[in-house]
Amino acid sequence: MSALITPEMVDLSMDAQSKDDAIAKMVQLLVFAGRVTDGELLLKDVLARETQMQTGIEGGIGIPHARSDAVSEPSLAFAKSPRGVDFGSADGLADLIFLIAVPSGSDADHMKIIAALARRLIHASFKDGLRQARTPQEVAVLITKEVLG
């Protein structure tokens, strides 16, 4: 299995006009990284998941996610949004956005990644590290170390 996240799956200055725009840009990161066979299908699957339940969590975090036939291996894209994006959290806009995409039928991988990420996101040091990271490489290393242990 490849790395869950690589530097090319990181955008440190996403300028998204909406949640759907942010998700579309993050799907493109995964397409360019060769993790997705059909960007339109993955986008449709993530947006369908978003209609079921908001994916914003407290602390400026958005975690859109989906299982999709378009995904070739479990992947995580990350973006920082200086403007912020509304993912439906009661405390406001998300500036840290994680897109989790796993192949259909990978329920265990899907839940493992979400749970591991959620456990790290309760720590201010992890969020601060992401907010202070200056390069995609720093972000990929931090997420790999913190989330995958």
Which residues are marked as active site?
65
Residue 79: its H or E element: strand 75-85
Q: Residue 21: which residues within 8 A CB-CB, separation 6 or more? A: none
**CA 31 vs CA 39, 73, 94, 122, 129: distances in Å:** 6, 12, 23, 30, 26
Q: Which residue has the tokens 């995958």?
A: 148
* DSSP three-state, residue 133: coil
Query: Of the candidates 112, 101, 34, which has an alpha carbon nearest to the alpha carbon of residue 63?
Result: 101
Q: Which two tokens stand for residue 7?
A: 């530097």
CA 83 to chain centre: 17
* Beta strand pairing call for 94-103 and 65-68: parallel
